[in-house]
Amino acid sequence: MPNQPIAAAIRGRLLSFLRAPAGPGDLDSVRCIDDGLLLVGADGRIAAVGPWAELRGCVPDGVTVDDHGGKLVLPGFIDTHIHFPQTQVIASYGAQLLDWLDKYTFIEEQKFADPAHAAANAGFFLDELLRNGTTTAVVYGSVHPQSVDALFAEAEARGAGLIAGKVMMDRHAPPALTDTAETGYRDSKDLIARWHGRGRQRYAVTPRFAITSTEAQLEAAGALLREHPGVHMQTHLSENLDEIAEVRRLFPGARDYTDVYDRFGLLGPTSLFGHCIHLSEAELARLSESGSVAVFCPTSNLFIGSGLFDLATLSKPQRPVRTAIATDVGGGTSYSMLRTAAEAYKVLQLQGQNLPALAAFHWMTRGNAEALGMADEIGSLEPGRWADLVVLDPHATPAMRHRMMTVAGDLEEELFIQVTLGDDRSVAATYLRGRNSHLRQQVA
């Protein structure tokens, strides 16, 4: 029984993970309440979760139950790597990483010097996340601090929590897109002071990648982390072979790419490294030992032609590297974590590996929350967590409806269909703090 005022009540098939599934068939890892009720307190946090039959009496007069019937109600998806200034870079043709950055990305990101452009795009960006059921994201801004101000302001207005940072880049980019070691440090510090810990917002120190930062700037990024315990760090690591060769040329004293970051104190449990495709055993050992997180961005890795994320090697039990999964829009080609998990499955299949449906859903929710060190806040349907939810329709498209006719009560099979065929059309509704923030338009 909840012991606080109830502000919202959501009924449906409630699905939430208790731990990481050991493999296919591990249904003990998940709690599914076929006819469940989730009660939300006035603070936007989950007050109680249980069977409808047990909790229905707790819905106060004046609170209407949002009844989602046979649809699945899950913790909102978490996207652990996405670029805010790349909403108009997505779907840019025919280039691999370094050319793609020069030809498309570094052109588009310059527009975010304009606060009006940043504000308009922040609205679109949050709309698109919510339309896809993503309620928390870890976001790269542009080099301009005003882009991150616009993003956080939009998230705050909607009750969403972001982890975001201004990109630090002081070389090998157009002059209009570079800061300096000093201004990058100062602007990041000011943003931390303005936004980190304000409501739900958190900061990530964001040196873009080794190629675009001098040693002085990486040193400054390390200083920011030391001076502000609790902020995250995000960057790119070992995505593309030409990138790796260039890093070797620029940092001849470093043992390897990972060591470039390690030397400046950038590894650790709050550090997120996008891609991690072409790593040596020594690098994997160091990432594991430091508790750093490797972020798998499958649609991006396929689209930019970067390579295949080797989950089995990363996860070797004798030196496991923590992992997360993400869209990496605009190198990535979809805002949907469902599409992302579907491509992850294929990337792993190409290597003789696998991604069971339970593991995919765990990863997008509780797994990513754990990777961010935020499992006590988001990622599961438990009292005290934020009531950030996604409602998924198992019959969202004709193909899904048709395929679902063959499924007789097998949760794993239903979830696999959702991962493989689902996308933004599957998202019937998205809630932030128990408030409906996106409701799919019903089309006749």
Smallest distance from the beta carbon of 328 to Zn ion, in angstroms? 5
Q: Least separation, in Å, of the C-beta of 306 and ligand GUN?
A: 7
Least Cβ distance, residue 412 to ligand GUN (angstroms): 32
Token output for 117: 């452009």
Residue 290 neighbours by CB under 8 Å, 6+ apart: 262, 267, 268, 269, 271
Q: Which stretch binds ligand GUN (CB under 6 A): 19-27, 97-105, 253-261, 342-350?
A: 97-105
Burial of 26 from C-beta contacts in 10 A (0-12 / 13-18 / 19+):
middle
Query: Residue 408 in 3-state DSSP?
Result: coil
**Residue among 178, 213, 300, 340 that touches ligand GUN (CB under 6 A):** 300
Interface with ligand GUN includes 196 (CB under 6 A)? Answer: no
Instruction: For residue 85, state whether it binds ligand GUN (rule: CB under 6 A).
Output: no
Q: Could you say which of Zn ion, ligand GUN, none residue 49 binds, taking C-beta under 5 to 8 angstroms by partner kind?
A: none
Q: In the window 212-251, what residues touch ligand GUN (CB under 6 A)? A: 236, 239
The entry of Zn ion, ligand GUN, none near residue 208 (CB within 5 to 8 angstroms by kind) is: ligand GUN
Nearer to Zn ion, 149 or 328 (CB): 328
Residues that bind Zn ion (CB under 5 A): 274, 328
Measure CA 101 to chain center.
21
Q: Which of 44, 141, 331, 367 binds ligand GUN (CB under 6 A)?
A: 331
| DSSP-assigned letter for residue 339 | H
Q: Does 209 bind ligand GUN (CB under 6 A)?
A: yes
Closer Cβ to ligand GUN, 182 or 242, answer by number = 242
Q: How far is the CB of 49 from ligand GUN (least distance, A)?
A: 37
Among 105, 292, 368, 418, binds ligand GUN (CB under 6 A): 105
- Picked from Zn ion, ligand GUN, none, the partner binding residue 232 (CB below 5 to 8 A depending on kind) is none
Q: Which is nearer to ligand GUN, 137 or 358 (CB)?
A: 137
| Residue in the structure block whose two tokens are 């909607």 | 158
Q: How far apart are CA 257 and CA 242, in angstroms?
A: 12
Among residues 166, 196, 208, 403, the one that binds ligand GUN under rule CB under 6 A: 208
CB of 244 to ligand GUN, least distance (A): 12
DSSP string, 278-310: S--HHHHHHHHHHT-EEEE-HHHHHHTT-----
Q: Which is nearer to ligand GUN, 237 or 378 (CB)?
A: 237
Residue pair 169/220 in contact by the 8 Å Cβ criterion: no
Closest to ligand GUN by CB, 84 vs 431, is 84
Q: Which does 414 bind (CB under 5 to 8 A by kind): ligand GUN, Zn ion, none?
A: none
Smallest separation, CB 234 to Zn ion (Å) = 9
CA distance 134 to 318: 33
**Cα 16 from chain centre:** 18
Structure tokens at 268: 């650790």
Q: Closest-CB residue for ligand GUN?
A: 331
Task: Report whether 351 contacts 308 (CB < 8 A).
Answer: yes
Instruction: Considering the complex, state which of residue 136 and residue 206 has its C-beta at the smaller distance from ligand GUN.
Output: 206
Using CA atoms, how far apart are residues 402 and 400, in angstroms rounded to an integer?
5
Task: Please state, in angstroms and rounded to a whole number, the distance separating the CA atoms of residues 365 and 72.
Answer: 14
32-53 core/surface letters (b: 16 or more CB in 10 A; e: else): ebeebbbbbbeebbbbbbbebe
What's the Cα-to-Cα distance from 149 to each of 108, 115, 166, 349, 368, rounded to whole Å? 18, 9, 9, 41, 25
State which of residues 328, 370, 388, 423 lies at the interface with ligand GUN (CB under 6 A): 328
Binding flag, residue 303, ligand GUN (CB under 6 A): no
Report the SS3 class of residue 389.
strand
Nearer to ligand GUN, 13 or 83 (CB): 83
Helix axes 181-195 and 215-227, enclosed angle (nearest 10): 20
Task: Name the residues that contact ligand GUN, by CB under 6 A.
Answer: 83, 97, 101, 105, 208-209, 236, 239, 300, 328, 331
